[in-house]
């Protein structure tokens, strides 16, 4: 445990309420000792009671929250930790809800996958055990698999739900548990809140039913892999181009995660032959020994991949997170130096390629669409508009993109979608962000550009020349503790009750308040409905086209500011100059809003 956390807990213990707090925690620990938990867990609890009151409090002072997406927390013993019993209680609650919802279904079925994190296999097996004990059929992957393959398997196997054990890109101490519904997407309203309510009803470890023989569990793997890869291969738009560019130099790292097997297979299935995997990060390892954080958004996570790329003069570098649903990429600039693209830039390259080549190959029939989140670059909408493709905006979270696909199934054709946090999707057979298919399609985009005598860097700049140079930046302000939460809420209240009239000398034209589900037109003073679920998000649209979004983080003590600015770009030679001007514009907006 970090020293700062231990110090904070010690201060809490030394406060006037320390006796009540310790008694409360010990009573919860005693209930666990008296329950049917294993002997090793009992020994660990007894050791905490006798030797480490600080850790005892941290482990038991609250229950690990089952949120609208599932569980995520530090692994260890106790009610506030990820362990087989908190996972079991969550699964028992989900089981009870599934039985309520599918009372007329002959056999309820669930698929389970897991990543390379420590204890992921154990948690997956215990989850399967609970489902099996409750008479639910389980399809359990034989070993680690990417999150998007779980989404695919839910629909392929006609399951009513799915679970993937992962904590995505969190540090090694964490693990998690994400819940999917029968459409292959993560749970949304009303199921999310209803499942939370059922999980909260499980008050005691003894209420969990386990089936150690895994009676109703079927192991799956290779057959689903082949079917999944076959669907991904169908997404390729230019096999002949890839054949010409089969030697495109690709560097790939799974960062010790689940992408190690299927990403190279997907690339090979597309026709790429020069795939170079970062050896130091090839072995799945929940300790992530070569990185501080296995997050492809962070430059340090790609350091070894970039080193290899420089050695072989690669065309493109790709890195996937531990559960292989997000991908970060690097490309060479005009100086032949590798630069990391942000999620908006990668999305622009991918969506422009998909839509333009759907058009070129005669696949556009007039009922196609893309989806992006409200904080993702508006350049995606501009690209869609050019080709008369509809663009849907949704709240932050890929589950909302999945919901749009479900709503339009059989009515319109989904081309692709994405979010600024490095998640992309094409096709309709997966209902979550998919780094396996994204790696293959981004490599195809690079091959397509190379076939035209261009680099991906030049392709990106040409997109900016055509649609305008869009630049985005995310600033997160951390405010910890109770006082921090209050400060964040006050900031949101102030923005909502006293919104700025101008920002950086540009008039605020529209205010989108997603909590009130209203748009306020500052010129006409008219109000318009926002047909999206309630969410504590504000957006300010300025006269010069800038977009500022503000929202508290749902999982961390942060308030996030998303800045989107743009300007006309006449020619490639002006790129660096305009890039600098846009950076200055973002800094001026931050200063105007007193954001440090």
Q: Which of 59, 120, 161, 168 is catalytic?
A: 168
Give the pLDDT of residue 21.
Answer: 86
Q: Kindly tell me the burial class for residue 7, based on how many C-beta atoms sit within 10 Å of its own C-beta (0-12, 13-18, 19 or more).
A: exposed
Give the pLDDT of residue 13.
Answer: 45
Mean pLDDT within 538-544: 97
Residue 289 pLDDT > 90: yes
The DSSP secondary-structure symbol of 206 reads: G
Give the pLDDT of residue 4.
Answer: 53
Give the pLDDT of residue 3.
Answer: 54
Residue-wise pLDDT tens digits, 362-386:
999 999 999 999 999 999 999 999 9
The contacts of residue 428 (CB under 8 Å, 6+ apart) are 405, 409, 413, 414
For the chain, what is the mean pLDDT?
Answer: 95
Reading the block at residue 587, the tokens are 């800094």
Residue-wise pLDDT tens digits, 76-133:
999 999 999 999 999 999 999 999 999 999 999 999 999 999 999 999 999 999 999 9
Give the pLDDT of residue 66.
Answer: 87
| DSSP annotation string for 391-431 | EEEE-SSHHHHHHHHHHHTTTSEEEEEEETTTEEEESSS--
Give the pLDDT of residue 16.
Answer: 37
Give the pLDDT of residue 334.
Answer: 93
The contacts of residue 210 (CB under 8 Å, 6+ apart) are 88, 126, 129, 130, 133
CATH of domain 469-592: 3.30.310
Give the pLDDT of residue 67.
Answer: 81
Mark whether 168 is an active-site residue: yes
Which helix (H) or strand (E) element contains residue 390?
A: strand 390-394
Q: What is the residue whose two structure tokens read 């389980």?
A: 138
Give the pLDDT of residue 5.
Answer: 52
Residue-wise pLDDT tens digits, 453-471:
999 999 999 999 999 999 9
Percent of the chain having pLDDT more than 90?
Answer: 90
Reading the block at residue 37, the tokens are 């938990």
Reading the block at residue 265, the tokens are 């297979």
The Cα 95–Cα 93 span in angstroms is 5
Write down the pTM of the prediction: 0.94
Which helix (H) or strand (E) element contains residue 138?
A: strand 137-141
The Cα 498–Cα 492 span in angstroms is 10
CATH of domain 222-467: 3.40.120.10
CATH class of 63-220: alpha beta
The DSSP secondary-structure symbol of 75 reads: B
Give the pLDDT of residue 2.
Answer: 53
Between helix 18-33 and helix 53-60 the angle, nearest 10°, is: 70
Same fold for the pair 222-467 and 469-592? no
Mean pLDDT within 152-170: 96
| DSSP annotation string for 468-526 | -EEEEEEEEEE--HHHHHHHHHHHHHHHHHS--SEETTEEEEEEEETTTTEEEETTT--
Give the pLDDT of residue 17.
Answer: 58
Residue 594 pLDDT > 60: yes
Highest mean pLDDT among 57-66, 203-212, 443-452: 443-452
Across 264-385, the runs of DSSP E, i.e. the strands, are 275-277, 316-320, 327-332, 338-340, 368-373
- Which residue ranges make up each domain of the chain? 1-61, 63-220, 222-467, 469-592
Give the pLDDT of residue 20.
Answer: 85
Q: Is the peptide bond before 190 cis (omega within 30 degrees of 0)?
A: yes
Residue 15 pLDDT > 50: no
């Amino acid at each position: 445990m970090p020293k700062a956390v231990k110090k904070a807990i010690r201060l809490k213990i030394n406060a006037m309420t320390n006796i009540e707090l310790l008694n409360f925690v010990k009573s919860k620990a005693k209930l666990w000792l008296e329950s049917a938990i294993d002997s090793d867990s009992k020994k660990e609890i007894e050791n905490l009671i006798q030797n480490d009151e600080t850790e005892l409090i941290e482990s038991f002072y609250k229950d690990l929250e089952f949120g609208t997406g599932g569980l995520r927390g530090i692994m260890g013993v106790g009610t506030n930790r990820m362990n087989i019993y908190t996972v079991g209680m969550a699964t028992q609650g989900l089981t009870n809800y599934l039985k309520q919802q599918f009372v007329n279904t002959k056999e309820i079925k669930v698929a389970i996958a897991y990543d390379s994190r420590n204890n992921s296999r154990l948690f997956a097996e215990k989850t399967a055990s609970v489902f099996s004990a409750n008479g639910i059929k389980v399809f359990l992957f034989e070993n680690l698999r990417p999150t998007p393959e779980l989404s695919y398997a839910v629909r392929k196997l006609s399951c009513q739900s799915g679970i993937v054990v992962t904590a995505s890109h969190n540090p090694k101490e964490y693990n998690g548990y994400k819940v999917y519904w029968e459409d292959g997407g993560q749970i949304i309203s009303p199921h999310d809140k209803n499942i939370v309510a059922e999980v909260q009803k499980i008050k005691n470890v003894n209420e969990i039913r386990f089936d150690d023989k895994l009676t109703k569990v079927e192991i799956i793997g290779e057959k689903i892999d082949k079917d999944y890869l076959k669907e991904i291969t169908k997404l390729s738009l230019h096999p002949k181009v890839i054949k010409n560019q089969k030697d495109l130099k690709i560097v790939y790292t799974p960062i010790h995660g689940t992408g190690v097997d299927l990403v190279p297979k997907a690339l090979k299935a597309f026709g790429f032959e020069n795939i170079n995997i970062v050896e130091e990060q090839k072995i799945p390892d929940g300790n992530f020994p070569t990185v501080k954080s296995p997050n492809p958004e962070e430059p340090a996570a790609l350091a070894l991949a970039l080193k290899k790329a420089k050695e072989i003069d690669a065309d493109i570098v790709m890195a996937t997170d531990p559960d292989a649903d997000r991908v970060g990429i690097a490309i060479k600039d005009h100086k032949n130096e590798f630069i990391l693209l942000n999620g908006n830039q990668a999305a622009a390259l991918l969506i422009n390629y998909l839509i333009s080549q759907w058009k070129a190959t005669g696949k556009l029939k007039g009922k196609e669409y893309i989806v992006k989140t409200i904080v993702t670059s508006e350049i995606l909408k501009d690209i869609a508009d050019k080709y008369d493709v509809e663009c849907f905006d949704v709240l932050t979270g890929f589950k909302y993109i999945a919901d749009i696909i479900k709503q339009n199934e059989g009515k319109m054709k989904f081309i692709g979608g994405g979010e600024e946090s490095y998640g992309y999707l094409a096709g309709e057979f997966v209902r979550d962000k998919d780094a396996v298919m994204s790696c293959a399609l981004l490599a195809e985009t690079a091959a397509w550009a190379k076939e035209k005598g261009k680099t991906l860097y030049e392709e990106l700049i040409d997109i900016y020349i055509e649609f305008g140079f869009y630049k985005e930046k995310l600033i997160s302000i951390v405010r910890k503790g109770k006082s921090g939460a209050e400060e964040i809420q006050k900031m949101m209240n102030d923005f909502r009750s006293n919104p700025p009239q101008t920002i950086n000398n540009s008039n605020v034209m529209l205010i989108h308040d997603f909590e009130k589900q209203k748009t306020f037109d500052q010129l006409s003073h008219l109000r318009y409905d926002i047909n999206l679920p309630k969410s504590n998000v504000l957006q300010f649209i300025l006269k010069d086209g800038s977009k500022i979004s503000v929202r508290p983080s749902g999982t961390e003590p942060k308030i996030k500011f998303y800045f989107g600015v743009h300007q006309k770009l006449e020619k490639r030679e002006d790129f660096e100059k305009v890039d600098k001007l846009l950076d200055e514009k973002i800094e001026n907006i931050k200063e105007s809003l007193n954001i440090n």
